[in-house]
Amino acid sequence: MFNVLKLALPAIIPSWNFFDIIAPSPRIEFACWDIDEKPVQDWQELRPRPQSISIFTMTRRLLWNPRWNENLYLVSLAERHAANPTFHSEGEIIQRIQYDLIEGGQKGNQICLVQFRLMFVKREQNQVVREQHFLSEKHKVLLGDADVD
Amino acid sequence: MSIEAAVRWTEILLAIALIQQSLESLSSIRQLRLLFVSRLALSVLLMVGVATQWVLLGLVGVSLILLKAFQGPYNGGSDRMGLLILYCLAAFHVLPASPFKELAFGYLALQVVLSYFVSGWVKIVNPDWRNGRALQDVFLFSAYPVSEDLRGFANRPKLLLSASWGVMLLELIFPFLLLSKSALLFGLVCTAFFHLMNACFWGLNRFVWVWIASYPSLIWFQDRFVLG
């Protein structure tokens, strides 16, 4: 109960310091191996943004934007996980990777090993640089209806 | 605007925001469906105005379970404002006498004013915001731009410098808009447009609906404490 009230407190006494500094920004990347640890998929960004979107899509997203809002949740999970790794944040990230792999067509009862890393992007002088902040263990993931190991 | 009218408008607008969020969550989050369905049903009741006190307490209960499930708000600032509105409305209905009710609803108005003023203050004390670099960085490498093409705005420093100062000044003058009815109305149109642009460029659509839901508290606060 105390923990829940602690989570609610920032809503009751908010800080409102939106965008006070532009901190390094996380990207979640993942890779897959088969059960014999042979590479199936090289490192790739989880949910990369599209090259462009139309004005119509922008307008529609005012009312309906579930995917992007889940992406924003992943960003805050990545920030939290880099600062303080927990089973909760790691599990949530792995679960979204699992769902995306299933939605991407990898169905059936195939098991694969999934690993993710947190890359942080920032500006140094006039260059954009990337740094790895976290590398997860390999998680056994069933690409069917089952859960994550 | 009377406090009863302002509270009712806030309930309706918050209900719309929560219905929108619940429908989005039901389509994208595979767990906790019963909670989101409950929140959806309670939000519809809130909009209609049935058993409002109990509905609000039910929504507070659901909000606490969701906070625990996600170990914090699912959508950062927009969820925090939604929770603040919800808790202030619940306090308004639960508290027995008028001064306490006014205190609960007035606290919401005060926090809305602070949400703009503090955001402006923390920006203007940062040299990167004053020279436009911060907004360039948001477009250049942050996770917010909704498409890669939008990152091209990082190459338009003069435009971003003007936008940075426009946003900072709007946020900083916001408390002073309470001194005049027409100024507040104009300010609310500007801030709603600001949230709309954030939704288009950065996909922050939930901010639009939830911040608009807080505006009736400002109109009442101005009538009651500034111009009254």
Percent of chain A with pLDDT over 70: 93
| Structural domain for B213, as ranges | 3-226
What is the pLDDT of chain B when averaged over all its residues?
96
| Interface mutation vs chain A, best among B40, B129, B146, B210, most A CBs within 10 Å | B146
Q: Which residue has 């990152």 as its token pair? A: B151
Would you call A61 and B20 a contact, using CB atoms and an 8 Å cutoff? no
> β-strands A39-45, A111-124: how paired?
unpaired
Chain A residues near residue B20 by CB distance under 8 angstroms: 63
Chain A residues near residue B208 by CB distance under 8 angstroms: 62
Q: What is the pLDDT of residues B50-62, one digit of tens each?
A: 999 999 999 999 9
Contact A132, A109 (CB under 8 A): no
Nearest CA in chain A to B87: A12
Listed in sequence order, the residues at least 6 apart from B4 whose beta carbon sits closer than 8 Å to its beta carbon are none
Show the tokens assigned to A11. Answer: 């809503």
Quote the minimal CA–CA distance from A33 to chain B in Å: 25
Check residue B51 and report its DSSP letter: S
What is the rounded average pLDDT of the residues B101-113?
97
Quote the minimal CA–CA distance from B49 to chain A in Å: 23
* Long-range CB contacts for residues B164-168, cutoff 8 Å, separation at least 24: B164/B123, B164/B129, B164/B130, B164/B132, B164/B134, B164/B135, B165/B130, B167/B120, B167/B123, B167/B194, B168/B120, B168/B123, B168/B124, B168/B129
Domain ranges for chain A: 23-142
Euclidean distance between CA atoms A20 and A4, whole angstroms: 27
Residue A56 touches partner B, C-beta closer than 8 Å: no
Considering only the beta carbons, identify the residue of B148, B196, B205 that sits closest to A51. Answer: B148
Q: How many domains does chain B have?
A: 1
Those of residues 76-135 in A touching chain B at CB distance below 8 A are 76, 80, 86, 88-89, 92, 99, 121-123, 128
ipTM: 0.93
Phi-psi region of B95 (alpha: psi -120 to 50; beta: other; left: phi over 0): beta
Considering only the beta carbons, identify the residue of B70, B72, B143 that sits closest to A25. Answer: B143
Total CB pairs under 8 A between chain A and B: 143
Would you call B199 and A61 a contact, using CB atoms and an 8 Å cutoff? yes
Q: Check pLDDT > 80 for residue A147.
A: no
Q: What is the pLDDT of residues B163-209, one digit of tens each?
A: 999 999 999 999 999 999 999 999 999 999 999 999 999 999 999 99
Task: State which H helix or E strand residue A29 sits in.
Answer: strand A25-34
CA distances from B26 to A31, A39, B39, B207 (A): 28, 34, 11, 19
Q: What is the pLDDT of residues B34-55, one digit of tens each?
A: 999 999 999 999 999 999 999 9
> β-strands A39-45, A25-34: how paired?
antiparallel
Check residue A125 and report its DSSP letter: T
Quote the minimal CA–CA distance from B223 to chain A in Å: 24
Helix B98-124 / helix B76-94 crossing angle, nearest 10 deg: 160
What is the rounded average pLDDT of the residues B64-84?
95
Would you call A65 and B24 a contact, using CB atoms and an 8 Å cutoff? yes
Nearest CA in chain A to B204: A69
Band (A96; pLDDT cuts 50, 70, 90): very high
